[in-house]
Amino acid sequence: MCRNIKPLFNFDPPTTEEEIRAASLQFVRKISGFTKPSKANEGPFLAAIDEISSISARLLCGLETNAPPKNREEEAVKARARATARFGD
């Protein structure tokens, strides 16, 4: 799957609409193969982003967990450490 799509569930502060839309955009780009669609494909491309954003927001609102919320800054530090270990400085 696309490495740019990050987990969005169970964070403090909660995931924003912009983060959900950005993940939806990455998903649509990945499955369509377009970074930027042509004018002919722009309508379906944007509609797919809107629909996936809506579905993703409903999913995130419906999920439940007993785990404590993850801290965004701590998760970002862990991700940078993994990237450094994988790719170097």
Which residue range is the domain that position 46 belongs to?
11-87
Greater pLDDT, 50 or 14 = 50
Task: With respect to residue 1, please indicate whether it lies within any of the assigned structural domains.
Answer: no
- Per cent of the chain over pLDDT 90 is 75
Total domains in the fold of the chain: 1
Structural domain includes residue 3: no
For residue 41, tell me if it sits in a domain.
yes
The mean pLDDT value of the chain amounts to 92
Answer whether residue 77 is part of any domain. Answer: yes
2 belongs to a structural domain = no
15 pLDDT tier (thresholds 50, 70, 90): very high
Could you tell me if residue 4 is inside a domain? no
Is residue 18 in some structural domain?
Answer: yes
pLDDT above 60 for 42: yes
Q: Is 10 exposed, middle or buried (0-12, 13-18, 19+ CB in 10 A)?
A: middle
pLDDT of residue 75: 87
